[in-house]
Amino acid sequence: MQKFDIAVIGGGAAGITAAISAGRRGKDVIICEKMPLLGKKILISGAARCNISNKDLSEAHYNPEARAFVKTIFSKFGGRDDIEKFFNKLGLKLYSQSGRLFPVTNQASSVLKVLEEELKNLKIPIEFGFEVNSVAGLTKGFIVKSKSGKTVSGDSIIITGGGKTYPSLGSDGSCYALAGSFGHKIIEPVPSAVPLLVKDKFCHLLQGQKIQCIARSVIDGKIKKEAKGELLFTKYGLSGTAILDVSEDISIAINRLKKKNAVVSIDMVPFVDAPKLIEEIEDRIQKGFAAENLMIGILPNKFSLIFRDMFKDASAEKIVKMLKDKRFDIIGTRGWNEAEFTSGGIYTGEVKELTLESQLKKGVYFAGEILNVNGERGGYNLAWAWASGFVAGLTD
């Protein structure tokens, strides 16, 4: 059985960074990865461009329960500038687009390659196909056993097995059981940044149509979040960036809290205020526009199906109320294969803020998406993975 100072369980963004952090300090480290390659989720991130971070890493961009926790870790790591410096020292050049940081190559594979080179330089071994079955605590240290029977031991372990998004890439939530074996509470994971399921005539008639909108999540009659961006009507409901950005509260309400009154409000004409839009529609009605042509030049022509079918002889006020505040009752979300992030995971109240060590078991550390920390789209989740991984790797 191989003996190491630190065994890192999971070879994603957080696991790789944890191993590098520990290896640079002279620790004898091994990465135990269940897949045949490292960092498979890195390769698909940011539409395969890898949005590695954001110029604004305020904790306000993360789930409320984790904000103080996130702030502490970013302060210890150094924040946005230090993430840039970390990658620059690896030889990766970056550029900013609307505050989001990308490699100049626009290839996620470039990010993974420089990380793999650093692992090689530090002579950090990787055990591929090592799907962890159990972790047993010893008087000093731990034995990590795989399903195939392989074992390694480490004085400390860092669990970075990720959440549940894209299970085919290795992140299937299996490491929650490891944390649970040490007594850790798991906040029920639900998909986040995920398309929503709706049964509505709008979706049927407009499927495939994209528009710019303002979307608002409404839970128990209260607006929880607002986002401006793209809306895509689909055969199953709603997607697009605006929907992904307001989906977290809805997913928690439906999937975790089992509520049945989650709604999305859509302003389909955010570039015209209601009084001016009423005036414009009234003018068109007076000019004798057919119902299906009332929104030509304002909304895509496909909307003629909606107006011909649903708003014949409707008043301008009724039309504008629908266009500025169309309510869609949400009946569910798409699954883990379509969600970008996981909301939920290991309860952060049982993890030390400064070190990411378990408060319940000495020598056990956590990093990345396995914790109940999730950010908005825009590089926030990878930024958390790099920073938390690096801090976890500072363990003695």
Pairing of strands 151-159, 364-366: parallel
Residues 353, 283 within the same domain: no
Tokens of 341: 């992030």
Pairing of strands 53-54, 2-9: unpaired
pLDDT at residue 205 in the model: 93
Give, rounded to a whole angstrom, the gap between the first and last alpha carbons of the chain: 22
254 DSSP 8-state letter: I
Q: Per the structure, how many domains does the chain have?
A: 2
Residues 168, 62 within the same domain: yes
Residues 77, 142 within the same domain: yes
- The length of the chain in residues reads 396
pLDDT at residue 278 in the model: 96
Residues 181, 316 within the same domain: no
> Position of tokens 């929880």?
224
SS3 263: strand
Residues 51, 123 within the same domain: yes
Strands (E), the chain: 2-9, 29-33, 53-54, 94-97, 100-103, 126-128, 132-137, 142-146, 151-159, 186-192, 196-197, 210-219, 222-233, 237-239, 262-267, 326-329, 332-333, 341-346, 364-366
Could you read off the pLDDT of 94-133 as tens digits, one per residue?
Answer: 999 999 999 999 999 999 999 999 999 999 999 999 999 9
Cα 246 to Cα 238: distance, rounded to the nearest angstrom: 11
Residues 63, 166 within the same domain: yes
Phi/psi of residue 217, nearest 5 degrees = -85, 135
Cα 7 to Cα 380: distance, rounded to the nearest angstrom: 26
Tokens of 225: 């979040």
Cα 315 to Cα 291: distance, rounded to the nearest angstrom: 11
Residues 177, 204 within the same domain: no
Residues 209, 184 within the same domain: no
Could you read off the pLDDT of 152-209 as tens digits, one per residue?
Answer: 999 999 999 999 999 998 889 999 999 999 999 999 999 999 999 999 999 999 999 9
Cα 100 to Cα 241: distance, rounded to the nearest angstrom: 15
pLDDT at residue 228 in the model: 97
Residues 323, 224 within the same domain: yes
Segments in the chain below pLDDT 70 = 79-80
Last residue within a domain, chosen from 333, 355, 377? 333
Q: Could you tell me the pTM of the whole model?
A: 0.94
CA atoms within 13 A on the CB side of 382: 28
Give me the domain span that covers residue 251.
196-333
Residues 180, 80 within the same domain: yes
pLDDT at residue 79 in the model: 66
pLDDT at residue 313 in the model: 80
H or E element at residue 390:
helix 380-392
198 DSSP 8-state letter: -
pLDDT at residue 80 in the model: 67
